[in-house]
Structures are given as structure tokens and as C-alpha cells.
Amino acid sequence: MVLNIKGTPALEVTRLTVDNAVDIAMKRSYRIKQIELGIARTRYWLKAERAGLKSKVFMNLRAPEFNAVSDYKWNSTLQIDEIIRQNTRRWQMDISVRQPVILLGYPTNGYLSLNNKIYRYYQKEDIEEDVDYYNRFFIKFEQPILRPNELKNDIENAELSVEREELDYIRDIVNLSNSISFDFYNLFGLVYRNTIYSHYVEDLENILKIAQTVALEDTTRKIEEIQANLELTNAREMQLKNFNRLRQRMQNMKLRLRMDVQDSILVKHDIVLNPIEIDANQALQYGYTMRPHLRLQYIEKRRREIRLNNAKGWDAFHLNLEMTLGLEKNEDRYQAIWEEYDNSYSVSINAYIPIWDWGRRKAWVGAEKVNVKRADLNIEENRNSLKSSIVNTITNLKDYQQRALNLKESVTMAQEICDMSIQQYKENRISLQGVLQVINRQRNTGINFLDAYLGYRRSLQQLKSLTYYDYETGESLLDRYRPES
């Protein structure tokens, strides 16, 4: 039976490694689930914007439109306004197939549509009645000129939104992975320290037994028993203090992984020290090209450039071209509107000419230009900061790596020397102070190795989060965590 840290039976035992700790956190993270839903939402937005490049079929109905009101109108014969009562009924149907105009895959912001307008118009005045039927088939072309291409900009904005959500998703996963990994290595450090202190206490217990035997044989050496007992008491206090910290850290880890507090955690980690050669220039290139934070800033810059492009069209000179060409028929009999059509066409060009706005448009455009410049400064600042962070992390990694490699062999040697010293003390060939110094050095060597190894792991984890490249597996984190389409 496995017991949890409080000594009560554990509901479930989890063998915790750095990899499955990250996996558990990802599966149970509300933040990751929120980002996944955000990706789905922006993909729907993009789908909606891209659907705007395809044909749209719609119908407008007036069924019916009654109008029985009086209003004044100008009578050119009498040269006066007179009150005229209108009594009309209209049943109208408009059907249109509308398609954006796309040249060489590029939307022009114009529209081409195929339309049909048909209505019945009934007028009644005093005792007279008049019924008209109207039918028209026509092609309509609409093209704004000298205006921002809003259709293209909206689609690009939607594409940038999808990319931004996907990068946020990857960034949050890597941040969560980084945070959980740091917590795991802190937890492992306490577990490893507990092992060091356990060996330390065991060695001191052996020394105390030897000192007690010596004191029985030679009462003048009673002080050695007292001193050994004092060292053992201090060692047990160190072990207990570390155990309390381990208990608190385990509880925090359970909370982070959303585990039941009654569950038990068994920390599993094999110390592996494979020397890794880091090319600083390549690492910088990885950081510049793969780290989402910089790409997100480039996306923000592009969005500001789009807003600048749109701002240049606000209250600016522009033209709207509209042309129609078709067939029409107006008759007082319904059947007749489907026979012997007349040609119809129309051409109109509307121009908007700003004259004076007290510098309002210029100020709008100036504000958006400043926003673009600010985005450039943010990118430059973050590139410089990223460069410094990567260079410092590589330096720390190399330092910790070399220290850990040097100390790894020293740990084994220190244990061998410690065992020999205890035997020598038993044989009265070394003093108590001498053997205590040896086991203290052995304990310190183990702790120093642990600190160097944890520094190596943390530096490697930090470099991975800065470059989005896993140097242990040779894999890009963008590829590993990219959301499925």
C-alpha cells in the first residue's frame, strides 16, 4: 500500500516525470481550453470573410407595401404646391446573384451582379384605378475608385487573427510547459536533497555507533560520542526541514495539476548529462524566426499598416462607378411583361471631393503613422532584449553543464572516500573531526552537483522557451504544438 505525504492511504499513485507533468497540466488547463475555443472562433471568422469572395444569392420582398397618405407636391401648371393624396399598393420581388470582382486572384473591391426586379404597382385616385407590372433583368457593375480595398483588408485581418490565436495557443502551451518543468525540477531537487540527507544521517548514525563503542572502551573519548550525537541531531533537523519543504512543494504541484490532495506523487527522473553544443548565431536565428512574441509584434505592425491604409481613405477624394445593362418591360398585363423586352442601361459616376476639414483627415492619418512607428520600435526593442537573453542563457548553460560534468565524477569519489574514512575511524586511524569533515564534504559535493545539474536543466529549459527549439530532440516547438487545422 502506498501512503501519501500525511501517512494516510493514497487514492491514486502518479509516477511523475517532467514530460507527463506537462501533459497532465495541458489536459487540465482552462487557459489552454479557452485558447482552443478562440482558435475555432477566429477560423470561423476567416471562413466567413473568405466566403465573401464567392457568389451571394439573396432576395428582397415587399409583400405588400401599402401607402395611403397625403403630402404636398409642386404643381408646375398651377405654379403652386398642392396637397395630393396617394393610395398605392406595391408587391415587389428583387433577386440578385452578387459576385466580387477578382482579377488574378486579387479582389478589386468591386462587385458584379445578375439581378431581376419584378413588381405590381397599383394606384387609385378618386374613381380611377391604374395597375402596372414591371419586369427587368440586368447586369450591374459597381467599382469604387481611389478608395482602400476594404474587402482585401478584411480578409487579411481575419487571416492575421487566426495566426495570432494559433501563436497565442503555442505560446501559452510553451509557457505552461516551462512553468511546470521549473516546478518539477524544484520538486526533484528537494527529493534529491532528501536522498543526500538520508545518506548523511545514515553515515552519522554509523559514526555514532562507533563513537559509543569507543566511549565504552575509553571513557576519555566520551566527548566524541556527544559530538557525534550533536552532529546527528543537526543532520536530522536538516532532513526534517527539507522534508517539510518537500511536502509543501508536493501539495502545490497537486494543486497545479488539479489532482486530488489525497493522491500520491512519486517523482521519477533520471539524471542524464549529454553535452550539448549550442551555436549562438543559430540560436538567435531560431529566436528571431520561431518565437511567437516577435511574430505577434509583426502581426500587430501589419494590422496597424492596414488601419493606416484604411485611414487614408477616410474623408478622401474618391469615385464610385456604377453601370447596368439589361432588358425591361412595363405593361398593364402580367403576361405581357415576359414578351418583347426593351433595352435598358445606366451609367453613373459619383465623386466625393473634400474641400476643407480643418486638418481632421491629416490628423487621423498622422496618428496611424505614429502607431506604425511605435510598432517598429517595439520590434527593435524586443529583438535586442531577446538577443541579450539568449546570449546570457547560452553562457549560463555552458557554465552549468561543465560544472555538472565535473562534479558528477566527484560525487562517486566522495562517497568512496566517505566509506573509507568511516572504516578508518572505526580502526582508530583517523580522528572524529577528520571523518566528520569528510562526510560533510561528501554531503556538500552532492548538493553542489545537484545545484549545477538543476542550473543546467533550467538554463536548457529557458533556452528552449527563448528559441522555441528543443536542443535535446532537435525539434521545433512550433511544429510540436501547432494546432490541428
pLDDT score of 472 more than 50: yes
**Residue 392 CB contacts under 8 Å (≥ 6 apart), including other chains:** none
Weakest mean pLDDT among 263-267, 275-279, 294-298, 455-459: 263-267
418 band by pLDDT with thresholds 50, 70 and 90: confident
Q: Give 11's pLDDT tier (boundaries 50, 70, 90).
A: low
pLDDT at position 10 over 80: no
Q: Considering just the CA atoms, what is the radius of gyration of the chain in Å?
A: 41
The CA distance from 179 to 231, in Å, is 38
Please report which confidence band the pLDDT of residue 93 belongs to, taking 50, 70 and 90 as the band edges.
very high
User: What phi and psi values does residue 267 have, to the nearest 5 degrees?
Assistant: -75, 125
Angle at 288 between CA 284 and CA 289, to 5 degrees: 120
Side by side, the strands of the sheet bearing 342-352 are 56-75, 80-103, 106-125, 128-145, 318-331, 342-352
Cα separation, 114 vs 56, in Å, equals 10
Q: Tell me how far apart the alpha carbons of residues 466 and 352 are, in angstroms, rounded to a whole number.
A: 51
d(CA 455, CA 375): 35
**Average pLDDT score over residue span 199-218:** 88
Q: What average pLDDT does the segment 308-316 reach? A: 90
The whole-number pLDDT of residue 366 equals: 93
Q: What is the pLDDT of residues 14-44, one digit of tens each?
A: 788 888 888 888 888 787 788 888 888 888 8
More confident: 277 or 53: 277
pTM over 0.75: yes
410 in Cβ contact with 402 (< 8 Å): no
Q: Which residues pair with 3 in a beta bridge?
A: 9
Query: What is the mean predicted confidence (pLDDT) over 96-115?
Result: 89
Looking up cell 569519489 gives 413
The whole-angstrom separation of Cα 276 and Cα 268 is 23
Please tell me the predicted confidence (pLDDT) of residue 135: 92
Residue 460 — pLDDT band, cuts 50, 70, 90?
A: very high
Q: Which pLDDT belongs to residue 126?
A: 66
**SS3 state of residue 482:** coil
6, pLDDT greater than 70: no
Check residue 127 and give its pLDDT.
65
Instruction: Kindly report which listed range (178-187, 189-198, 232-241, 259-268) carries the lowest average pLDDT score.
Output: 259-268
Q: What percent of the chain has pLDDT over 70?
A: 97
**The residue to which cell 492596414 is assigned:** 306
Residue 117: name the closest of 340, 323, 326 by CA: 326
Instruction: Specify which residues 144 forms β-bridges with.
Output: 320
**Residue 90 near residue 65, CB atoms below 8 Å:** yes
Question: Quick check: 60 pLDDT over 90?
Answer: no
**Rounded alpha-carbon distances, angstroms, from residue 232 to 235, 241, 380:** 5, 14, 58
Q: What is the predicted pLDDT for the residue at 187? A: 92
Q: What is the pLDDT of residues 364-395, one digit of tens each?
A: 999 999 999 999 999 999 999 999 999 999 99
* Confidence band of 3 (pLDDT split at 50, 70, 90): very low
Reported confidence tier of residue 273, pLDDT bands at 50, 70, 90: confident
Q: Residues of the chain with pLDDT > 90: what percent?
A: 40
Compute the average pLDDT of residues 255-269: 83
Q: What is the average pLDDT score of the chain?
A: 87
pLDDT at residue 1 tops 50: no
Taking only the tens place, the pLDDT of each residue in 338-369 is: 888 889 999 999 999 999 989 898 999 999 99
Angle among Cα 18, 24, 27 to the nearest 5 degrees reads 140
pLDDT digits (tens, 9 = 90+) for 141-156: 999 999 998 888 888 8
